[in-house]
Each structure stands twice: as structure tokens, then as C-alpha cells.
């Protein structure tokens, strides 16, 4: 027998299991140690396909630092502290530095979240503000992409001489990976631009996902390519991408040209965070990895997407997701008024909304698997989403035959199972 702690919010659920019944799937980088301040400084001095930070910036520059919101673990507190200190050493005044939180269409960050993301030291000395995708006064129009996507971005991107992107690299179920260009779009884009880019994930002519769109895919991915083109219009000065461990500490950093550094990070992340499996199994137990990965159900779905890669059709997925912020959107449940995923896809074709696509992705999984959700969500809401509510892992397991073979994904959002040929 073995046991493992599965993260649930800020706590953990202990799971005892038979070794011949369950196989644990973990990223290969779990033994990496957190980066020291010195190692992060070295990354600033030797960027990927870019000059050192001291040569990119000069006294008199004004710098906008783009950082992620509370739905992401990026080690932003450590990274931003060191970055701001370095900028001041270069001779840039603190008054000429600002930090914008790339919320996309997420809710605003709270004061407490800002302090946790950036530390009180930074929030007391540097101007910090949120992006608002619905506030037209915040946006400037930069024309259209080759595909005809309207480009509306936060005007702050044009009010500073230098823009530095910071963020974490991880899997994204239709953009391929987080980080990099996503700090600009959707992070700092208007709701109109976000909608236009995200709807490229669906093939409304043939149904289902558009070819090339998926977890860990960049080449030929229309969503990634559109967001990349939009970021090109901004031409960020530098990109800083981190990979974090299960406690949100930076274990790898990729600083440099905003596109090259991100691509390097994505390639290594895929190599270390995917695992070949010889078969799919009838049971998958998946933890999102705890807070903030299970802050709400929309974010928790990313772990469900990974679990679906390892589960047999008709099998059971048990998802551990606290969801302290609920569903993530007050209007999320309206999409489940559709009788099935095909009807929902038709609704999206006629009146697309970003979170409607997440609802479609959830519904397609609920149709393929029995999904049992261990969470703090209202049971009626879970049932409405076509899933089974449970208040504990034990209660969820009681719904499954005792000897059912399965996989355990302790860091569901950070591990991509790949079925061997």
C-alpha cells in the first residue's frame, strides 16, 4: 500500500491506495529546487536571443510590467521584486515604473491578492492597477489582424517606452500553453478581441475543435497564432517566463525575446510535463494542484481536461477542486440549459462567449465520462453541469467498484498524459 496527499484548496486530502491498482502520474521536474535570487539575476544578465537587461533599458525609460492575476501561480512576488530592484539600479525612477495585472475577462484582483502576488513592499512603492476588458475607455484600437480580428488593447501599452511581460508557462487546453503572448492577448485585450481570438478554437463548419488546437500545441494552432500576431503589434522589450513547483515557487526561468524565450520554455515544459501511458484506464483521480489552480470551476476544468486524456470512454473521473470562488462566472450555468454539447455548439456559433466554450468543453466530458466533483460548490450546480457532486474523496470512491484500475494525477493541470501509439 502507498499513500499520497492530494492538494485541495490550501489543504490536502490523504489517499491510501494499492500499488497494483493505481499508478501515479507526475511531472519529471518534481525534484527541481526553487531558484535563488542570484540565479534569477543571471537570467536577466543572459537573456535568450536578447541583450542583457542593463543594455535593453536606460535612465529615462518608463517601464510597464505585465503580470498575471490570482488565477495563476507564477512566482510573481520573487520575480517582480527582483525586476523592480534591477530597474531602479539601472537608473529608472520608481515613479516611471508601473505594474498592470493582466486579468483578461477575469474579475479584478483584491488588495490582499495584489499584496500576495507582488508583496506589500512593491504595492506600497509602485503603481499597480488592473486591466478591465469591459472598460472601453481603457482601450486603444490598433486595427485588425490578417484574419480580420479587431485589435483593442489596454492603452497603457502605448503610454510607456518599454513593456516587460512576466508570467508562468503551463498547459492550456486550446491555446496550447499559458504565458508569453497571452499576457497581451487575452490578458490586456478588450472583450471584443478576446472573443474573436478564442472562438477560433472551434470549427463551426465541421463541428468540434478546430484542427491544430489543443493542449501543448503551438504549431498550426489558430488561437496561439492570432494571439502571437497581436502581441507582435506591441513588440514587448522583454519576456520573463517561469515554471513553478507544486508550492508555486519558481524552479525554472526563461528570460529574453518575448517570443523566443516563451517558445523555449514551452518546448522544455512539454518534455518534462508529459508522460506516455500504454493504456487508458476506467478510473482517474485528479487534483488540480490546489489553490490557485482550483480557485473556481472554470480554472479547475483545466485539470479535468488532462484527466480526460487518461480515462476510458465511459469511465469515471474524480476531480478534487475546492472552488472557493465558486464557478468563476455568475452566468456560467446558463450554458447548461442546452440539452447536449451539439446544441450548445450551435448556440456558440450564433452568439459566442468565451465561457460558453469552457461550458461546451465541460459538457463534452460529462457526456463521455462519469465526472464526480469533490468541491465546495452547491450540489445543484454540479448536477446542472451534468456531473455528480461529492463532499469527500471517500464518498466519490464509494461510487466506483473497489478493484477498478486507475491513474492518480496529483498535479492535474501540470501533467499531460499521452497515449502511446
- Domain boundary assignment for the chain: 2-27+275-419, 37-271
Name the nearest CA neighbour of 122 among 76, 156, 168, 155: 76
Name the nearest CA neighbour of 358 among 322, 318, 328: 328
Cell output for 248: 508555486
Distance CA 325, CA 291 (A): 11
Q: At what angle do helices 191-198 and 354-368 cross, to 10 degrees?
A: 40
Strands 274-277 and 171-172 turn out to be unpaired
The topology under which CATH files domain 2-27+275-419 is 2-enoyl-CoA Hydratase; Chain A, domain 1 (3.90.226)
The pTM assigned to this predicted structure is 0.92
Distance CA 110, CA 198 (A): 26
Distance CA 177, CA 217 (A): 7
- From first to last of its 421 residues, the chain has per-residue pLDDT tens of 899 999 999 999 999 999 999 999 999 866 789 999 999 999 999 999 999 999 999 999 999 999 999 888 899 999 999 999 999 999 999 999 999 999 998 899 999 999 999 999 999 999 999 999 999 999 999 999 999 999 999 999 999 999 999 999 999 999 999 999 999 999 999 999 999 999 999 998 888 899 999 999 999 999 999 999 999 999 999 999 999 998 899 999 999 999 999 999 999 999 999 999 999 999 999 999 999 999 999 999 999 999 999 999 999 999 999 999 999 988 999 999 999 999 999 999 999 988 999 999 999 999 999 999 999 999 999 999 999 999 999 999 999 998 899 999 999 999 999 999 7
The span from the first CA to the last CA of the chain, in angstroms, equals 31
Q: How far is CA 174 from the centre of its chain?
A: 11
Q: How far is CA 219 from the centre of its chain?
A: 19
Architecture of domain 37-271: 3-Layer(aba) Sandwich (3.40)
Determine the length of the chain. Answer: 421
Amino acid at each position: 500500500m502507498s499513500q499520497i496527499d492530494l492538494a485541495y484548496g490550501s489543504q490536502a486530502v490523504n489517499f491510501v491506495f494499492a500499488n497494483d491498482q493505481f499508478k501515479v502520474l507526475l511531472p519529471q521536474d518534481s525534484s527541481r529546487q526553487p531558484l535563488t535570487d542570484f540565479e534569477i539575476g543571471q537570467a536577466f544578465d543572459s537573456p535568450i536571443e536578447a541583450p542583457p537587461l542593463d543594455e535593453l533599458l536606460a535612465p529615462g525609460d518608463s517601464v510597464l510590467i505585465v503580470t498575471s492575476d490570482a488565477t495563476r501561480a507564477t512566482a510573481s512576488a520573487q520575480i517582480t521584486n527582483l525586476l523592480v530592484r534591477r530597474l531602479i539600479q539601472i537608473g529608472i525612477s520608481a515613479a516611471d515604473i508601473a505594474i498592470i495585472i493582466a486579468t483578461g475577462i477575469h474579475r479584478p484582483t483584491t488588495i490582499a491578492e495584489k499584496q500576495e502576488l507582488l508583496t506589500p513592499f512593491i504595492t506600497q512603492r509602485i503603481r499597480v492597477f488592473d486591466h478591465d476588458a469591459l472598460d472601453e475607455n481603457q482601450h486603444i484600437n490598433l486595427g485588425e489582424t490578417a484574419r480580420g480580428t479587431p485589435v483593442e488593447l489596454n492603452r497603457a501599452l502605448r503610454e510607456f517606452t518599454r513593456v516587460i511581460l512576466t508570467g508562468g508557462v503551463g498547459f492550456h487546453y486550446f491555446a496550447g500553453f499559458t504565458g508569453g503572448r497571452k499576457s497581451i492577448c487575452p490578458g490586456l485585450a478588450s472583450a471584443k478581441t478576446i472573443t474573436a481570438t478564442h472562438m477560433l478554437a472551434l470549427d463551426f463548419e465541421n463541428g468540434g475543435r478546430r484542427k491544430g488546437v489543443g493542449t501543448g500545441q503551438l504549431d498550426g494552432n489558430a488561437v496561439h497564432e492570432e494571439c502571437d500576431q497581436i502581441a507582435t503589434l506591441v513588440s514587448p522589450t522583454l519576456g520573463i517566463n517561469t515554471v513553478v513547483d507544486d508550492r508555486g515557487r519558481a524552479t525554472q526561468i526563461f528570460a529574453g525575446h518575448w517570443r523566443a524565450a516563451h517558445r523555449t520554455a514551452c518546448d522544455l515544459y512539454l518534455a518534462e510535463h508529459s508522460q506516455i501511458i500504454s493504456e487508458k484506464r476506467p478510473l482517474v483521480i485528479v487534483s488540480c494542484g490546489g489553490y490557485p489552480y482550483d480557485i473556481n470551476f472554470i480554472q479547475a476544468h483545466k485539470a479535468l481536461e488532462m484527466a480526460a486524456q487518461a480515462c476510458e470512454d465511459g469511465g469515471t473521473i474524480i476531480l478534487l477542486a475546492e472552488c472557493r470562488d465558486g464557478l468563476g462566472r455568475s452566468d456560467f450555468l446558463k450554458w447548461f440549459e442546452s440539452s447536449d454539447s451539439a446544441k450548445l455548439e450551435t448556440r456558440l456559433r450564433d452568439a459566442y462567449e468565451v465561457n460558453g466554450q469552457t461550458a461546451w468543453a465541460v459538457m463534452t466530458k460529462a457526456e463521455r465520462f462519469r465526472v464526480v466533483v469533490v468541491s465546495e460548490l452547491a450540489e445543484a450546480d454540479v448536477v446542472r453541469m451534468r456531473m455528480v457532486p461529492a463532499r469527500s474523496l471517500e464518498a466519490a470512491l464509494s461510487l466506483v467498484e473497489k478493484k477498478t484500475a486507475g491513474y492518480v494525477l496529483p498535479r492535474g493541470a501540470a501533467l499531460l498524459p499521452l497515449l502511446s501509439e
